[in-house]
């Protein structure tokens, strides 16, 4: 076939390209700007709601880091009700068992909640535990707009974030304790738990900065 002036000289590439400004260009589609890195906005932690949200995200990060089964399949849906906006699913493998129940409705709903085993199950989001003789909890009430994440872990370490020495006060003594720990000192399990202020499971100078900012904001 003869090539004419109306025919494209080459097949347009569909591969994303990087523009001179660093943007990602997808041919025939859109321009995606790269993420803009920003410093941690500690000043956002000004009121109870923001502090509570910060603690909630820390819990979720710890849960994910402590349970590899949350990072991969299988995801086994056990119950769903579109009308009531409720969902129960398991993330279970041979080593870990996590049961998630969600109520996205503004009304509470009561369901029979199935677990893999009998025994004690701990809800990490709302900090309570239940004990069951079979693998069912009959008539479990799902509060409005609430999620539950159960594991069979008998205990999870409870601590007051920032109160490194766990004396119920957060002050300069905790800064000293945290610095000592980072420099090679020791802490109790609760102290280590309290030291990870930004919830990234690593204890380092960022946690010192966060602790100082917490104390300055008290
Ligand atoms: Ca303290
Ligand atoms: Ca940290």
- Predicted confidence band of residue 82 (pLDDT cuts 50, 70, 90): very high
119-123 vs 128-132, strand pairing mode? antiparallel
Mean pLDDT value across residues 13-34: 53
Q: How far apart are CA 81 and CA 189, in angstroms?
A: 41
- Predicted confidence band of residue 138 (pLDDT cuts 50, 70, 90): very high
Packing angle, helices 172-182 and 205-217, rounded to 10: 180
- Predicted confidence band of residue 183 (pLDDT cuts 50, 70, 90): very high
- What's the CA-to-centroid distance between 39 and ligand 1, angstroms? 27
- What's the CA-to-centroid distance between 193 and ligand 2, angstroms? 10
**Which ligand lies nearest to the CA atom of residue 182 in the structure?**
2
164 pLDDT higher than 50: yes
CATH of segment(s) 157-217: 1.10.1330.10
Mean pLDDT computed over every residue of the chain: 82
Radius of gyration of the chain (CA): 25
- What's the CA-to-centroid distance between 179 and ligand 1, angstroms? 13
10 Å CB burial of residue 175 (0-12, 13-18, 19+) is: middle
Identical fold for domains 63-151 and 157-217, yes or no, is no
CA angle 120–51–165, rounded 5-degree value: 70
**Which ligand lies nearest to the CA atom of residue 193 in the structure?**
2
Quote the pLDDT of residue 105.
97
Mean pLDDT value across residues 158-162: 81
What percent of the chain has pLDDT above 90? 45
- What's the CA-to-centroid distance between 218 and ligand 2, angstroms? 20
CATH architecture type of domain 63-151 = Sandwich (2.60)
Residue spans of the domains in the chain: they are 63-151, 157-217
pTM of the predicted model as reported, rounded to 2 decimal places? 0.58
- What DSSP element (H or E) covers 195? helix 189-195
């Amino acid at each position: 076939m003869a090539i004419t002036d109306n025919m494209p000289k080459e097949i347009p590439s569909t591969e994303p390209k990087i523009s001179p400004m660093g943007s990602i260009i997808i041919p025939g589609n859109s321009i995606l700007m790269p993420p803009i890195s920003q410093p941690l906005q500690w000043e956002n932690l000004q009121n109870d709601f923001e502090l509570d949200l910060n603690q909630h995200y820390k819990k979720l990060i710890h849960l994910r880091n402590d349970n590899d089964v949350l990072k991969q399949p299988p995801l086994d849906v056990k119950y769903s009700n579109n009308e009531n906006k409720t969902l129960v699913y398991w993330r279970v493998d041979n080593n870990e068992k996590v049961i998630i129940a969600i109520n996205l409705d503004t009304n509470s709903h009561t369901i029979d909640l199935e677990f893999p085993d009998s025994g004690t199950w701990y809800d990490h989001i709302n900090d309570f535990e239940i004990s069951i003789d079979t693998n069912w909890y009959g008539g479990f009430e799902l509060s409005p707009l609430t999620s539950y994440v159960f594991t069979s872990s008998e205990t999870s370490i409870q601590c007051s974030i920032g109160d490194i020495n766990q004396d119920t006060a957060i002050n300069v003594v905790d800064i000293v304790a945290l610095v000592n720990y980072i420099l090679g000192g020791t802490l109790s399990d609760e102290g280590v738990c309290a030291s990870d202020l930004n919830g990234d499971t690593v204890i380092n100078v960022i946690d010192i900065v966060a602790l100082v900012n917490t104390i300055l904001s008290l």
